[in-house]
Amino acid sequence: MALILTFLALGILAAVLLLLLAQAAWWQALLLGLGVFLLAHPLGLLGIYLASLTVDRDKPLEKQVPLCRAGTAQVLGLVCVYCGIRPRVLGLEKLPRDRRFFLVCNHRSGFDPCLMLYKLRGWNVSFIAKPAILNLPVIGRIGHAAGILAIDRENDRNALRTILQAADYMKRDLCSMAVYPEGTRTRSGEMLPFHPGSFKAAQRAGVPLVISAIRGTEHTRQNVPFRRTKAVFEILEVLEPEQVKAMSTNELADYSRDRIAAWLEQPADGGQL
């Protein structure tokens, strides 16, 4: 991926310069190159964090910080690479290119948003996530600047406020939004009921509803670091705004869940993994 290649290029450049200018031994150049490659990772994160300081995280986001948006996608892509996730992505051609959309997906693992945000980086998609994510040092501030919203599902009023904020982001063409309507995931991997309230964001914003599904990421933890993990992320269907408004949020939740459940019932070796 681009970020790894950039860091690798910096390391090689440093090693070559040391060989040519200082006439150092090959092992010294190798150590320098490796050191530059490793050091580039925290320095890159530091640069993204400094860019996020230009935004007041206690106020609604008026405009995304481009470096934070792009940097978040690239860093999460690094996580996928270093954790050995080999994703297969299907159906991206169905996604609207000329307008914002609201995406829903089942939730299998904490690696789901890593894969999805990286693969959807060309569509500028942000997530509605658990408050714990935005409460993390450094990561929380960067996430806010990238357009990520926290939802408190224990408080209906606060949850509604987040849904309306997501609708506002899409209305203002700030970014598209995505959510896991289950709210959380189970250890058994069984799909939970969808929260109908999440679908109000699509109705309020008047945008298409994108139904997607993911599988395979739940095996990542047990496979790291010795085995690769095959995962599939697919765009199943896009409902136009007229269809979204014609259905109730309960109907949208049930329909989306049924589409995803049918996809998950297909054999994993049936061309999906």
Q: What is the pLDDT of residues 146-170, one digit of tens each?
A: 999 999 888 888 999 999 999 999 9
Q: Is residue 178 located within the same domain as residue 142?
A: yes
User: CA-to-CA distance for 15 and 266, rounded, in angstroms?
Assistant: 50
Tens-digit pLDDT profile for residues 34-54: 999 999 999 999 999 999 999
Over residues 114-118, the mean pLDDT reads: 95
259, 236 in Cβ contact below 8 A? yes
Tell me: do 259 and 166 sit in the same domain. yes
Instruction: Look at residue 269 and tell me whether its pLDDT is greater than 70.
Output: no
Better-scored residue on pLDDT, 43 or 268: 43
Least-confidence region, from 3-12, 71-80, 87-96, 111-120: 3-12
Q: Mean pLDDT, to the nearest integer, of 199-218? A: 97
CATH number of the domain encompassing residue 95: 3.40.1130.10
Question: At residue 33, does pLDDT exceed 50?
Answer: yes
**Separation CA 226–CA 94 (nearest Å):** 35
How much of the chain is in helix, strand and coil states, percent to nearest 5? 55, 15, 35
**Does a structural domain hold residue 157?**
yes
Amino acid at 28: Q
Are 203 and 245 within one domain? yes
Provide the domain count of the chain: 2
The whole-number pLDDT of residue 271 equals: 41
What distances in angstroms separate CA 128 from CA 1, 120, 169, 190, 220, one per listed residue?
26, 15, 11, 21, 22
CB neighbours of residue 33 within 10 Å: 21
User: Which of residues 35, 52, 69 is at a domain's end?
Assistant: 52
Q: Are residues 170 and 75 in the same domain?
A: yes
Do 119 and 209 fall into the same domain? yes
Mean pLDDT of the chain: 92
pLDDT (tens digit per residue) in 227-259: 999 999 999 999 999 999 999 999 999 999 999
73 shares a domain with 179: yes
User: 219 is in which domain, residue-wise?
Assistant: 59-264
For the chain, how long is the longest CA-to-CA vector?
72
**Alpha-carbon span 238 to 249, nearest angstrom:** 16
21 contact partners, CB below 8 Å, separation of at least 6:
none
Would residue 271 count as lying in a domain?
no
Residues 242 and 129 in one domain: yes
State the pairing for strand pair 209-215/102-104.
Answer: parallel
Q: How confident is the model at residue 1 (pLDDT cuts 50, 70, 90)?
A: low
